[in-house]
Chains A and B, each alone.
Chain A
């Protein structure tokens, strides 16, 4: 047991003394989550919006002024037709359009009820939500201001339309996606590289010629990376909760348990790669090519699996991250419990056992 702990401590030394490894281990997740996060959220600044004011009355002018006062928008006022607005959306020139119907003020004063149409480009769901929220709060402000001066309550109803992606799918999809991508990459690559490094440096020769059991070598390699990956997971979750405002709806304990299962699967895959390669570079290439592409393509967070031709759908069943992605989405976003995801968990568990079994079987107790 003491041997085991010494070995684990040694692995930590390796990680903490190599700036490159550290950067890879902790840099990748942070960069990915921030990159993905802000690529989707940060564009709110200077977003181009169009205001089509068919009313041209006091009320509409006042609201437009309020919108203009905001630093987030780059406003263009023009009396576009609906076709023109749609065209502008399609070419990606604008993110949002606000349309005041003719008689806006009239309706408001005489009917106590008026409408504004807000159109948003929801193919970029985070931006769309943020922008529409912003507009509605401006309109609400105006309403409140009116209420103070008038006896009768006026109601302005903004009518929102999310173009292209009415359910706002994707807004919360990328965090689970990035989680599975990062875990897969980091765990697979780290284990593979760290074992192959022992081979490349020749230290494996000495380790093999020791009473230390080869299986223990493998396990003591896995433990530090399991631990470090859980630290990584925590970083990602903290970033997504506090930076991206994505709450964890389900049980955190379940999320960690499922993640540990996935991490173990990845470690087993990394181990398998390490038994098949002899140089760090080959191991790294194999983990990158063999893991990154399938994870990106077949997990379902960039390209919906349902839209794929059936052979690709079939392949996607063999990608562990696909199942993990479903699990994380269920637990983290939908707040589901284990009863709803036991099937995926079982599949992942089976994969873990399979990869672990194969890699331990092919782990060489000799040099050749």
Chain B
């Protein structure tokens, strides 16, 4: 879908997307994972024909984003990162409005949004501006879905939404995928990456890695250990000071550590030296990395 796309802002001073190539299969749930400023929104806007790329070309459902933008606008659903519905219209009015603008009716594609809409239906006469964050997202999703798009673009749909709603949201996406809709979703949350079929880890407009979440984890090249002690701050200082350490960063209540030397003796040496420095209660275990570990490692390379 994307081929060597480059997009710059401020006359080339800021490079948002740098020679970016990507191909998303039909019916796939694809995730763009990366921190703020990685270029996720710019990619979405190019694909939804809102921005023109400086270089390269991109197609959506076979249509060119520059020349055939009108055709694309008819067959994609787009949910921008910011809540972008009419705050002063009620839930139902918003939905009716977008259904009509996209040339359809609520009834026609109701089966698509039924499960989602039923959750917000009790509030259908409430103004959209007065909904909670999670309900706003559900309404926005309904509005993006109402014309039965072939491709759904969701720009950070779970940002600012509570954990339960996030979980529900991803379940909805899975069901939509089962209906045959191609979904491209972006998120800064690494833990959501495993819910996608394939993901692209992004940093500064470039792809760090593109694969299934499992493969990305499997591709983690070294052993990863979790260290734990009462005073995690001094522990991190001491591990970083040790010459055997390759990397060490806090992760939840643990420290994730990799070593320059993969041998067991190297690990024992590190533990020994840490105990000498007063870390008597130290716990350690070998763990399988998660996407965030992969991202941090790839970022440093």
Task: Name the one of A10, A211, A365, A366 contacting B97, with C-beta atoms under 8 angstroms.
Answer: A10
Q: How large is the interface on B (under 10, 10 to 19, 20 to 34, 35 or more residues)?
A: 20 to 34
Stretch at the interface among A197-205, A268-276, A347-355: A197-205
Q: Does A211 lie within 8 Å of B103, measured CB to CB?
A: yes
Instruction: Tell me, yes or no, whether A242 is within 8 Å of chain B by CB.
Output: no
Nearest chain A CB to B44 CB, angstrom units: 10
Q: Does A211 lie within 8 Å of B74, measured CB to CB?
A: yes
12 A-B contact pairs sorted by A residue (CB < 8 Å) = A6-B101, A17-B88, A17-B127, A18-B88, A203-B85, A205-B80, A206-B78, A206-B98, A209-B49, A210-B98, A366-B69, A367-B51
Contacts between the two chains (Cβ within 8 Å), count: 80
Instruction: Knowing A366-B50, A367-B51 are in contact, say whether A208-B73 is a contact too (CB < 8 A).
Output: yes
Instruction: Tell me, yes or no, whether B48 is within 8 Å of chain A by CB.
Output: yes
* Contact code string A1-33 (vs B, CB < 8 Å = 1, else 0): 011001100100110011000000000000000
Q: Does A211 lie within 8 Å of B88, measured CB to CB?
A: no
Instruction: Tell me, yes or no, whether A305 is within 8 Å of chain B by CB.
Output: no
* A83-132 with Cβ < 8 A to chain B: none
Nearest chain A CB to B145 CB, angstrom units: 12
Q: Does A206 lie within 8 Å of B45, measured CB to CB?
A: no
Instruction: Tell me, yes or no, whether B84 is within 8 Å of chain A by CB.
Output: yes
Instruction: Tell me, yes or no, whether A207 is within 8 Å of chain B by CB.
Output: yes
Which residues on the B side are within 8 Å of A17 (C-beta)?
A: 88-89, 127
Q: Which residue of chain B lies nearest to A205 when distances are taken between CB atoms in the complex?
A: B80
Which residues on the A side are within 8 Å of B103 (C-beta)?
A: 3, 211
Which residues on the A side are within 8 Å of B50 (C-beta)?
A: 205, 208-209, 366-367
Instruction: Tell me, yes or no, whether B100 is within 8 Å of chain A by CB.
Output: yes
Task: Name the one of B48, B49, B86, B127 contacting A203, with C-beta atoms under 8 angstroms.
Answer: B86
Q: Does B78 lie within 8 Å of A205, measured CB to CB?
A: yes
Q: Which residue of chain A lies nearest to B97 when distances are taken between CB atoms in the complex?
A: A10
Task: Name the one of B78, B82, B85 contacting A209, with C-beta atoms under 8 angstroms.
Answer: B78
Question: Chain A: how many interface residues by the 8 Å CB criterion?
Answer: 24
Instruction: Tell me, yes or no, whether B102 is within 8 Å of chain A by CB.
Output: yes
Looking at chain A's contact residues, the main secondary structure is helix
Task: Name the one of B48, B84, B93 contacting A201, with C-beta atoms under 8 angstroms.
Answer: B84
Nearest chain B CB to A211 CB, angstrom units: 4
Instruction: Tell me, yes or no, whether A318 is within 8 Å of chain B by CB.
Output: no
Q: Which residue of chain B lies nearest to A16 when distances are taken between CB atoms in the complex?
A: B88
Task: Name the one of B76, B85, B93 contacting A13, with C-beta atoms under 8 angstroms.
Answer: B93
Q: In the complex, what distance in Å separates the CA atom of A2 from the CA atom of B102? A: 11
Q: In the complex, what distance in Å separates the CA atom of A201 from the CA atom of B84? A: 6
Q: Does A202 lie within 8 Å of B89, measured CB to CB?
A: no
Q: Which residue of chain B lies nearest to A364 when distances are taken between CB atoms in the complex?
A: B50
Instruction: Tell me, yes or no, whether B267 is within 8 Å of chain A by CB.
Output: no
Which residues on the B side are within 8 Å of A10 (C-beta)?
A: 86, 89, 93, 97
Q: Does A6 lie within 8 Å of B86, measured CB to CB?
A: no
Q: Does A210 lie within 8 Å of B89, measured CB to CB?
A: no
Instruction: Knowing A206-B143, A209-B48, A209-B50 are in contact, say whether A14-B76 is a contact too (CB < 8 A).
Output: no
Known: A18-B88, A205-B78, A209-B48. 12 other contacts (CB 8 A): A3-B100, A6-B100, A10-B86, A10-B97, A13-B89, A14-B88, A203-B84, A205-B80, A209-B78, A366-B50, A366-B51, A366-B69
Nearest chain B CB to A359 CB, angstrom units: 20
Instruction: Tell me, yes or no, whether A145 is within 8 Å of chain B by CB.
Output: no
Instruction: Tell me, yes or no, whether A212 is within 8 Å of chain B by CB.
Output: yes
